[in-house]
Structure 1
Amino acid sequence: MGATGDFPGSVCQACATEGPGVRARGRISLMAVLCDACWNRAANDLAADEGATAAPRPDPDPEDTAWIEPPPCRACGAEVRVLPTNYDRWIVLATVELPAKDVPPRFRWRLVHGQDGAVVVRVRGIEPALGDPVVPDHRMLCPAQEAAAPP
């Protein structure tokens, strides 16, 4: 899960253990060389911080010829996209892109096409231009989330 490749003889960058579970981690770019336990801890912490706590979508049945519709938000019923992050956790995003100026920094994501399909990465570090398109986290647009948020 989350492995980009095995590095025989590699050492976990967090706990310094060696073994077959130590791998380069990240779906589209190398994030770190970690063992399974340290990877899960780091990815879960990052997911909690970024709001990437959605369950992955089930794999479609190859025999099924029905159109796959975007799932609805459980709270408001709007269509959403459930996509994997670079660190193998899933997030619920809006189905539209908006200019960066209209989306608060904590809700900005970008869609990146990698070897395994579409992956989303959080926009951080370099501030995007005001007109650059970003995909907002659905929590920003969900009327049910706004109603539940503290004043």
Structure 2
Amino acid sequence: MTSPTVRERGRIDLMARFCEACWNVLANEMAVTDGATAPPRPEPDPDDVSWIEPPTCPKCGAFVRIYPTTYDRWVSLSAAEMPAKDVPEPFRWRLMRLPDLSRVTTDIVAVRVRGIDPLPGEPVVPAHRMMCVPERDEP
């Protein structure tokens, strides 16, 4: 029996076919493993023309970049790239533009670097939790 909620899931090459409940279980497990537990960015009001400030970490006050992952969860990333040799493997991310019909980038997702290790000098974006000083001080 097939559920009416079974459909292709994921943002890149549609990762798999799951029902809503099974997809949420899988995506939540991946998010916890990867540290992608940030709340989504608020949708800006289209009528508001005021400047949008970048979000800051509530623990350390540093600027963060919040991006969706390929599995529809959100991750807080550092504001600057670093060489891969300076970032431990569990904290390495890359930003990827999603293909679109136009030449204008419409969406960017965060992709965890895994499988093939990058070269030591290759730039990666560290997860903010690696850089957050209060998180390092907690037991």
TM-score normalised to the size of structure 1?
0.84
Q: Confirm or deny: 8 A CA contact 1:70 1:81 kept in the other structure.
A: yes
C-alpha separation in 2, matches of 1:26 and 1:19? 18
C-alpha separation in 2, matches of 1:86 and 1:29? 10
Q: How far apart are residue 18 of structure 1 and its match?
A: 1.3
Is 2:113 the counterpart of 1:129?
no
Q: How far apart are residue 50 of structure 1 and its match?
A: 0.8
Q: How does 1:1-150 map to 2 (within 5 A)?
A: 17-114=1-98, 115=100, 117-148=107-138, 150=139
Q: How far apart are residue 94 of structure 1 and its match?
A: 0.5
Gaps of 5+ in 2: 101-105
C-alpha separation in 2, matches of 1:44 and 1:19? 20
Opposite residue 68 of structure 1, the aligned amino acid is I
Kindly provide the CA deviation profile for residues 74-93 of structure 1, in whole angstroms up to 9, marking residues without a partner as x.
Answer: 00000001110000001111
Point out which structure has higher relative CO (alpha carbons under 8 A, 6+ apart): 2
SS of match in other structure, 1:44: helix
Q: How far apart are residue 68 of structure 1 and its match?
A: 1.4
C-alpha separation in 2, matches of 1:100 and 1:36? 35
Structure 1 runs of 4+ aligned residues shifted over 4 Å read none
C-alpha separation in 2, matches of 1:132 and 1:64? 39
C-alpha separation in 1, matches of 2:50 and 2:11? 29
User: Which residue of 2 is the match for residue 8 of structure 1?
Assistant: none
C-alpha separation in 2, matches of 1:101 and 1:129? 8
Gaps of 5+ in 1: 1-16
Q: Confirm or deny: 8 A CA contact 1:100 1:131 kept in the other structure.
A: yes
Q: Confirm or deny: 8 A CA contact 1:113 1:119 kept in the other structure.
A: yes
Q: How far apart are residue 21 of structure 1 and its match?
A: 1.0
RMSD: 1.1
Q: Confirm or deny: 8 A CA contact 1:29 1:86 kept in the other structure.
A: no
**More deviation in 24-33 or 37-46?**
24-33
Q: How far apart are residue 24 of structure 1 and its match?
A: 1.1
Kindly provide the CA deviation profile for residues 18-37 of structure 1, in whole angstroms up to 9, marking residues without a partner as x.
Answer: 13311111112221111111
SS of match in other structure, 2:63: coil
SS of match in other structure, 1:43: helix
Identity of aligned residues (%): 58
